[in-house]
Amino acid sequence: MAYLIDRRLQGKNKSAINRERFLRRYKEQVKEAVTRAIKGRSITNVENGEKVSIPVKDTNEPGFGHARGGIWETVSPGNQEYQKGDRIARPKSGGGGSGKGKASNSEQTGEDDFIFELSREEFLNYFFDDLELPNMVKTQLAAIKEFKQQRAGHTVSGTPSNIDVVRSLRSALGRRIAIGANSRKRLREAEEELEKLRLIAHEDDVRIMKLKDEIHHLRAKLDGISFIDPFDLRYTNRIKVPKPSSQAVMFCILDVSGSMDQAKKDMAKRFFILLYLFLTRAYEKIEVVFIRHHTQASEVDENEFFNSRESGGTVVSSALHLLNKVIQERYSSNDWNVYVAQASDGDNWDNDSVQCRELIANAIMPMVQYYAYVEITEGEPQNLWEEYTQIPTIHPHFAMQKIESPADIYPVFRELFKKQQTTT
């Protein structure tokens, strides 16, 4: 007889393998839940996972059961039907009993959904598997953590320069009090007893002599307690803690001209959320700068960036001039990894589009790690797109994609940040 014992260490998540299988099985439901979650969240509010509702009838798992196949022996109580050596017919199959209270037409009456909760890591891994940050040379160097010294209490070992004198003396005082407590108590008692004996006896009395010897011994014992011992020494404990050294800034540039309706703004928001989530997995510190523009550009907060109803004509270069100014004044390329995501419908003045191309190619691209331009339009590419197509030949870390519907957002994002093929 063979026994199967599962000794896999699963910790608290004892069904980790089943959980992974479950995620694969209900991939479509998970995808829909994550899509709904993104639509209702702000860019920086991504700390939680998401709950997925699965119909109960679809969550049945296969299991092991006991059958009465093969050759087996049994002992039957006395009966009038069988004798020793008789062959007993095999019982009919399907004897697995359904139990009492079996529900009828359960699928027709409907059942509660099974709620399955994704952790934050599962939520993010679902999006960013097989993706990477482009132009990773600088990023990899910046991701190396620096360490700083930080006090962390006291320890019993260390170098002489780290000795804490006050704590060491306090420890020594406590040790001397603890070790000499009994001796000091007995010394006081012996001295009091000696004073009483001297009132009724001579100095040559045996009892007085014994007390004097004991007092002398106790005092010598107390004097022998060292003032400070190596055991008493306390050292200032200093530990190395990671000092965040990798930091990035993400510029979100949104066209809010009259041709950018709310649907296009929503698609841009979802793209920006994906980019923010992606960057948080590589950097300890992320700053987000929002720039919106029509004929004029301004730096705004997130609420105004997506919800302001102000609109007008389109002058894209106004946003690029502001971008260039902010990078030079606040985000030095020596200290920051700069990423830019620009979303527009591409409708721009012809002369201004040429100026945009020159400004990006000559001034902005040398300062950024990656520049992603997404054109949100259902029609043919606009003049801004035509000008931008000349930039990747000069700067490979400039990328551009077109989004026509919400279904294109995630594929476009994956295309912009897919892992680069390495050549050996």
> Is residue 255 domain-shared with residue 362, that is, in the same domain?
yes
Task: Kindly state whether residues 293 and 406 are assigned to the same domain.
Answer: yes
| Structural domain count, the chain | 3
For residue 276, count other CB atoms closer than 10 A to its CB.
19
Rounded Cα–Cα distance for residues 102 and 108 (Å): 14
Q: Which of 290, 278, 255 is nearest to 369 (CA)?
A: 278
Between strands 113-118 and 50-55, the pairing is antiparallel
Domain membership of residue 5 (yes or no) is no
pLDDT of 113 = 62
Backbone phi and psi for residue 133, each to the nearest 5 degrees, phi listed first: -80, 125
- Helices in 26-153 by DSSP H: which ranges? 27-39, 106-109, 120-128, 136-142
345 in a structural domain:
yes
- Domain shared by 214 and 295, yes or no: no
The reply to whether 208 and 260 lie within a common domain is no
**Do both 182 and 280 map to the same domain?**
no
Give the domain extent around 36: 16-58+114-129
- Mark which of 181, 206, 237 sits at the end of a domain: 237
Statement to judge: residues 225 and 256 lie in one domain:
no
Among 232, 254, 362, which Cα is nearest to 311's? 254
Whether pTM > 0.95 for this model: the answer is no
Name the domain boundary from 216, 237, 258.
Answer: 237
Interior CA angle at 150 toward 149 and 156, to 5°?
A: 100
Same domain, 254 and 348: yes
CA 103 to chain centre: 44
Cα separation, 124 vs 112, in Å, equals 28
- For 222-348, list the strands marked E by DSSP: 235-243, 247-255, 285-293, 297-300, 337-344
**Is residue 344 located within the same domain as residue 271?**
yes
Q: Are 307 and 225 members of one domain?
A: no
Q: Confirm if 234 and 154 have CB atoms less than 8 A apart.
A: yes
* Tens digit of each residue's pLDDT (9 = 90 or more) over 93-126: 554 444 444 444 444 444 556 676 777 677 766 6
pLDDT of the chain, 424 residues: tens digit per residue? 555 555 555 555 555 667 777 777 777 777 666 666 655 555 555 555 666 666 555 555 566 766 666 676 766 666 677 777 777 776 665 544 444 444 444 444 445 566 767 776 777 666 565 566 655 444 443 444 556 677 777 888 877 878 888 888 888 888 888 888 888 888 888 888 888 888 887 777 788 888 888 888 888 888 888 888 887 888 888 777 665 556 778 899 988 887 788 788 888 888 887 777 777 776 667 788 999 988 888 999 888 877 777 677 788 899 999 999 999 988 876 778 888 989 988 888 778 889 999 999 999 999 888 898 999 888 788 888 989 999 999 998 898 989 888 878 878 887 877 766 654 4
Domain ends where: 106, 129, 152? 129
Joined together, the tokens standing for residue 77 give 């109580």
Asked if 253 contacts 224 with a C-beta cutoff of 8 angstroms, the reply is: no
Query: What's the rounded Cα separation, in Å, for the pair 61 and 54?
Result: 14
